[in-house]
Structure 1
Amino acid sequence: MIDTSIRDAVRQLRIELQIVNDKIATAAGLNPRDLDVLDVIDREGPCTPSHLAARTGLPRATLTGVLARLEQQQWVARERHPADGRSAQLRSTDRFDELRRLYRPMTDATKAVTDRLPPQERDLLERMLTDLVTAVRQSHPGAVD
């Protein structure tokens, strides 16, 4: 059984991250779910719309509209898949740097917290967070690794 204080801390963190994401989305002229799509593309490298649908849980029809808008606004670039010319791959553009700038205050604040930890505790925290991400991802049917 998960310790309720840990569960509550994770819930509080999720809420605060969602609030920050909503504010950043607004500042960038995006919808909040757009940030999920952009982050998957940027973090996981070029990927197909099918991969994005599986990772984000967005219905393909919804994702098609999101991707068209993000491409039109130059947040993503669509290229032919090198192994399958019929398929497209999406990659982030240099415009993603705008989001990095908007996230900088949060990035700096979290770095200040983790920098206070001894290296062993930072390593433990990283492993725990990675394990939590994996557990959450695997807890949903159809999750993609």
Structure 2
Amino acid sequence: MSQALIDAIRILRIELGIANERVAAAAGLLPRDLDILNVIDRDSPCTPSYLATRTGLKAATLTGILTRLEAKGWIERRTDPNDGRSVQLTSTDRFNELRDLYRSGDETVRALALRFDQAERQTITTFLTQVSDAVRTASAALPTKGDA
């Protein structure tokens, strides 16, 4: 992979991080809360155990975040119909507030994507999906010193 491509991915990561911090602030969330909420919305229904594994957060930290998100109406906890001892987490309709905050950026990306033909968009999508998977795998293997 060329250094220019690696640099472009790094810049994208930085810009997405900054944008997410601004979205979190506009929604009255902490950035980590926004990350957890986005995972719940994308992967729901999911369990707290799944979230702990997916994010690498400790159970105590995750419990506090989930309690805060539930109290503010962002998520719902329901008893798992297949296991009465477990709960499933889903986002609520309040997640539409976040969609509204992301809308301008999403529309800009859609317009940019139209500059490419269908085959090019599919190649870009495949590449970005593979980069995401690679980053997830690499970050899951990193040692952690806590949740701070």
- TM-score category (smaller protein): over 0.9
Aligned to 2:146: none
Counterpart residue number, 2:145:
none
Residue matched to 2:12: 13
Which has the larger displacement, 101-110 or 50-59? 50-59
Q: Aligned with 2:84: secondary structure? A: coil
Identity between Structure 1 and Structure 2 (%): 52
Q: After superposition, where does 1:21-60 map in structure 2 within 5 Å?
A: 21-60=20-59
SS at match of 1:86: strand
1:96 and 1:37 map into 2 onto residues whose CA distance is 12
CA–CA distance in 2 between the matches of 1:92 and 1:127?
27
Cα deviation for residue 64 of structure 1 reads 0.3
Q: Give 1:122-133 correspondences, 5 Å limit.
A: 122-133=121-132
Query: Which has the larger displacement, 64-73 or 132-141?
Result: 132-141
> How many residue pairs are counted as aligned between the two chains?
141
Unaligned runs of 5+ in 1: none
The amino acid that maps onto 1:127 is T
Instruction: Tell me how large the CA RMSD over aligned residues is.
Output: 1.1
Q: Deviations over 1:39-82 (max 9, x none)?
A: 11111111000111111122111110000000000000000011
CA distance in structure 2 between the aligned counterparts of 1:103 and 1:58, rounded to whole angstroms: 25
- Normalising by structure 1, what TM-score? 0.94
Aligned: 1:106 with 2:105: yes
Could you tell me the TM-score, scaled by structure 2's length? 0.92
Give the distance between the partners of 2:84 and 2:98, measured in 1 at CA.
Answer: 31
Letter in 2 for 1:49: P
